[in-house]
Structure 1
């Protein structure tokens, strides 16, 4: 499977860091993404990619469209792929373990998250159709241990995903890519109730929150424990 990582062309040091910390993973392909500062928002609205109601920052629009572009690539080529953001740290055996897990999924799988933001809860089915589980991790401990993590071999299991925030790393099938394109476009600002946050109403300001609305109705999974961590800080998730 192809392994794309999104990193803006205007910040080459971020791509350099990603490749350095994940040098143990072969075949990482740089996707320069979309520079939100230069996006013609009106043109994006005319193309049906951004709604009039969208209140995303330009940076968030660029980030969202970068993921959408890769979904289109995956759907068109009809080949599943991994997608990472440039703050992702992959465990030492990511290549082998991710392949094993994907091979174990049902043939109609849509998406599996290899990790999510550590400052927000992760909700999944611990027992299929019976037990909803909410996992909360320590952002500080993740940040302290992220360098050690990349030297670890991790054994994980796929669990049906209900809710998660952040897109540090995931794999998506062609069918899943098409579902996400149809569900998340045009990019828009909506209020969403999130059970894993105690029913809090969150105003969507990024692509991951829009995706989060649809995991429960898709063949969506999360790997637990994660195969991918991020040193993301909660200041980058102002709505959560």
Structure 2
């Protein structure tokens, strides 16, 4: 499987940080992010990548289009791939453990998240179709321990995913990539109800929010413990 990581060409320090943090992972391929600050938004709308009334920031549009472009690569090639954002930190045995987990999934799996933002919630099926579970995390402890994490061997289990926030690292199959392209385009501003947040209605501001609308109808998974963490520095995020 290819391993793509997204990082803007105008932020070489983030690219260097990602490569240094994940030097134990072989075959990482830099996917230059689409820089939202220079996009022709009207042209993007005309190409039906963006609804006319979408209120995403330029950064969120560029980030979303970058993921979509990689999904297109996966769908066209017919080969599943890992996709990481440049604030991802991978555990020491990521390659072996991710391979083992994917081999345990049904052949028609679509997507599996290796991690998520630690300042939010993760809802998944602890027992398939029986016990829905909501997990919360401590972002402070994740940030404090993230450099230790990359030297850890992690043993994880996959669970059916309902929703979460953040796409710091995931694997996607050709069928999953095709489904996500069809489901998430054109990108749009829409309100989404989250049971894990007490039924709160949140307005989608990025493509990972739109993905939440479709996980439950796909063969979508998460894994616990995570194989990928992010320090989630929002001030420097691709979505800014």
Same fold judged by TM-score > 0.5? yes
Structure 1 pair 70–38 and aligned structure 2 pair: CA distance change class (3 A): same
Structure 1 pair 120–209 and aligned structure 2 pair: CA distance change class (3 A): same
Structure 2 counterpart of 1:101: 101
Structure 1 counterpart of 2:148: 148
Structure 1 counterpart of 2:189: 189
Task: Give the distance between the partners of 2:195 and 2:79, measured in 1 at CA.
Answer: 33
- Runs of 5+ in structure 1 lacking a partner? none
| Counterpart check, 1:49 vs 2:55 | no
| Counterpart check, 1:74 vs 2:87 | no
Task: Give the distance between the partners of 2:128 and 2:212, measured in 1 at CA.
Answer: 19
CA contact (8 A) 1:119 1:234 kept: no
Structure 2 counterpart of 1:180: 180
Scaled by the length of structure 1, the TM-score of the pair is: 0.97
Task: Give the distance between the partners of 1:23 and 1:123, measured in 2 at CA.
Answer: 31
CA contact (8 A) 1:119 1:233 kept: no
Equivalences for residues 224-235 of structure 1 within 5 A: 224-233=224-233
Instruction: Report how many residues are paired.
Output: 237
CA contact (8 A) 1:158 1:224 kept: yes
- Runs of 5+ in structure 2 lacking a partner? none
Task: Give the distance between the partners of 2:175 and 2:53, measured in 1 at CA.
Answer: 27
Task: Give the distance between the partners of 2:182 and 2:236, measured in 1 at CA.
Answer: 26
Scaled by the length of structure 2, the TM-score of the pair is: 0.97
Show CA shifts across 1:165-186 (max 9, x none): 0010000000000000000000
RMSD over aligned Cα atoms: 1.1
